[in-house]
Amino acid sequence: MEIRSERHEACLRLYPSGEMTIYSAAELKPALLHALGQSDEIEIDLGDISEIDTSGVQLLMLMKREAAVAGKALKLAGHSPAVLEVFELLGLGNWFGDPQLLPADAGKTRRVA
């Protein structure tokens, strides 16, 4: 699985898209870990995640932890409604410590530039 990435100065921004589920987890893990090796500051944009399950959450948690261990900064941003729903269910907002934006209306996410 290819993850689109963009570099903004020191920050590497990743744009995974589609499902973050058990079906893609095996591909996603090395891709994400690889990206972690590329930069000291990483932002994962979750705006295009259409579905996320436990394995996806787990991977994000792994990333966060690995980043912390390596002394890097990892931010999650632009949570899609699917991600928000799961984060809310599992009470993970605080765990990741990223600002989450509640959807203004169903299906759409307002982004702050």
Partner 1 sequence: MSLDLSEALQTFYAESRGLLQEMEESLLRLESAPADTESINAVFRAAHTIKGSSGLFGLDDIVAFTHKAENVLDRVRNNELPLNEELIGLLLGCRDHIERLVDIASDNAEMDSDTRVQGEALAARLSQCMGESAATLPVETGSPLESVGGGQMAGDVWHISLRFGQDVLKDGMDPLSFIRYLATLGEIRHLTTLTDALPDAAGMDPECCYLGFEISLNSDADKARIESVFEFVRDDCQLRILAPGSRAADFINLITALPEDKSRLGEMLVACGAVTQRELDESLAAQECESARQKNVQPLGEILVKRQIVQPELVDAALIKQKEVRLRQSQEARYIRVHADKLDELINLVGELVIASAGAGLLAQRQGDGAMQEATALMSRLVDEIRDGALRLRMVPIGETFSRFQRVVRDVSKELGKDIELVITGAETELDKSVVEKIGDPLTHLVRNSMDHGIESAEVRAASGKPVKGKLRLNAYHDSGSIVIEVGDDGGGLNKDRILKKAIERGIVGPNQNLSDREIYNLIFEAGFSTADQVSNLSGRGVGMDVVRRNIEALRGMVELDSTPGEGTTVRIRLPLTLAIIDGFLVGVGDAAYVVPLEMVLECVELSDADRQALTQRAYINLRGEVLPFVRLHDHFEVAGKGSRRENIVVVQYGGRKAGLVVDRLMGEFQTVIKPLGKMFSRVKGISGSTILGTGEVALILDVQALIQQAAERERAAA
- Positions touching partner 1 (CB under 8 A) are 22, 25-26, 28-29, 33, 53-55, 57-59, 61-62, 65-66, 86, 89-92, 95
Q: Quick one: 10 or 23, whose CB is closer to partner 1?
A: 23
Q: Mention every residue, 6+ apart, whose C-beta is less than 8 A from residue 70.
A: 36
| Paired tokens of 40 | 């000291």
User: What is the H or E stretch that residue 26 is in?
Assistant: helix 22-36
Closest CB 111 distance from partner 1, rounded Å: 25
Which CB sits closer to partner 1, 89 or 112? Answer: 89
